[in-house]
Structure 1
């Protein structure tokens, strides 16, 4: 793949905003009311960083994208409009009618295709200033985990966990896996490989969540290797919440290491001074960690485990030129510090990468 010499700057970002509510329509209500500090902080952060393309994870989905459109209206008012919105129905909260976690009951949030109290809770939405080629979108969200030859669904005593029926019905994606092409200024395409993986904890010795997290991340390596049909010939960017650190915390870390090390991808290593400061100033948030705290994207310092971790990623194609990258995490005393501290504000940080794309 050879890109033209002429290029234009493009800022691509992802953020796990934790804007999920306990019932359908409540997020829309809160955005429209204009009184929630977490909504205001999200708007202010996005307006400040001003990415051209932004994948929000942990954002409630609704059929007409009413909540996403309400947020975009707030952003436009703040000078950061996004004329193109995209989201597909999510596996999060999608009812199965089966006992999916082996607790002997049905109808709970862990009995859905992906954790959620209602359909679309904690889903994904893509905001873009570039047009989206919706006709060429590929959605892998309905792939059944047990049907994937390379997948490793959990087994206990040689039997599918929690039951053959449940495992046969379970999709790999806990939220979604999308290949979304956006149209570049020169008419070419940039493929955004968007996802949000389940957490690798909150399970039992069968390691159901750990195995699923591994395979959700591995799906993109399989796709880029041609295992799900021809991969994009155009440049790609893998982006989203992998819920997995490369070296610290729980989970099967080979998955994210293999993805970062894929021959088609590069790791710009977005960083912040705030992440480094938090590891030192908050009394052991990263005690025993091997990773660089400057790369952390989630502030879990208020919990003795797992500490602050790098869990959100933007991994561009090696054919693209990276000019800058960062994590929005202001240090203490900085003017924008209040946007990342305070009760109810997201614990995750926005991750951005600046690219040169064909102009």
Structure 2
């Protein structure tokens, strides 16, 4: 049996599926992963078309990467919001072994609308038009482009799920709103009329409770906007900073009181709740174009445990490509995205971060250097995983 949950119109079907472990008590080792798989397409409906047959070359590579890493709970960034595509990807790709890799089955899936391509009606980039992708709540050529998908071997408690697609940027206390460089006034790139509608999340932020035996782990996922493709006002950089900050506030006791979800429920995560934060945050601790310290706010949040997955592939790529990589301060062992030798070079932007109370065991960035290096062009990002021990305390 396979379950895919959509928003709006969530429903928890009756019955219980067997979890991946038979033990109802004791610890479970669970592999959480994030993968910006670049399964976005240039036109609405194209992803469904591409996945309708089992022979799309890029989708086969993405599926093989997943099969060779076998995460239990997986966030896929840049999967267009196309609910029909979820089953097509599972049935035509993941459940068929790719090039000798074993098939993988995900009985549970969660997909929901994205802010990408949703028009605001305003000229956000001041180019004289209100109808381009830059004028949407999140950049997109159509609604749902570059969306999110979560696949899981464990049940997702959809009744307890929270989404934050509609949270307004201005409602974050001390939001880092962009300045108009032509004026002396602070935070004035956007008019009050724009701020009354402009959402914080460029895609969405989701809190998905995953039931692992008798435990629950909240899978907190998002994909903040790249801090580039703007001007001196840095509207994307400042937004990237605050999208990252959202999870830091949400998971810090008393700091998330201002937050409200799409159903109107207020407040952050319970201080006793276990969580794993995952996603392409588009922010490197030392290099790249994000606001200085943007990702550090999350990495150093009180309840977050920073993990350091890495790969020799990242080291080899930086050495071979040179260019901007040669000037980086960060260790290329931790890079997760291959942006080649031109600016900004390869960066660490994809993260899997468990909470205190969970035990990170080991992790890696999947950047092979052997014969499987043929999979490295499946996406410009690499799958990042972390094995976490979930144990009742």
TM-score, structure 2 normalization:
0.85
SS of 2:196's partner is: helix
Deviation at 1:76, TM superposition (A): 1.8
Deviation at 1:5, TM superposition (A): 9.2
1:248 aligns with 2:248: no
1:77 aligns with 2:105: no
| Partners of 2:324 and 2:61 in 1: CA distance | 24
1:305 aligns with: 343
RMSD: 1.6
Runs of 4+ in 1 over 3 A off after TM superposition: none
1:22 aligns with 2:55: no
CA displacement 1:268-315 (0-9 Å, x = unmatched): 2110110011111223351111111011010011x5110000001001
| Partners of 1:17 and 1:166 in 2: CA distance | 32
Deviation at 1:169, TM superposition (A): 1.4
C-alpha contact 1:99 1:166 (8 A) present in aligned 2: no
1:349 aligns with: 382
1:68 aligns with 2:89: no
| Aligned pairs (5 A) from 1:319-330 | 319-330=357-368
**For structure 2, which runs of at least 5 residues remain unmatched after alignment?**
1-23, 98-102, 260-266
1:293 aligns with: 332
1:100 aligns with: 124
| Aligned pairs (5 A) from 1:85-234 | 85-156=109-180, 157=183, 158=185, 160-185=188-213, 187-225=214-252, 226=254, 227=256, 228=259, 229-232=267-270, 233-234=272-273
SS of 2:95's partner is: helix
C-alpha contact 2:202 2:223 (8 A) present in aligned 1: yes
SS of 1:72's partner is: helix
1:261 aligns with: 300
| Partners of 1:208 and 1:269 in 2: CA distance | 30
Q: Which has the larger displacement, 52-61 or 218-227?
A: 218-227
1:52 aligns with: 72
| Partners of 1:171 and 1:230 in 2: CA distance | 18
Q: Which has the larger displacement, 125-134 or 100-109?
A: 100-109
| Aligned pairs (5 A) from 1:271-290 | 271-290=310-329
Deviation at 1:168, TM superposition (A): 2.4
Deviation at 1:335, TM superposition (A): 2.2
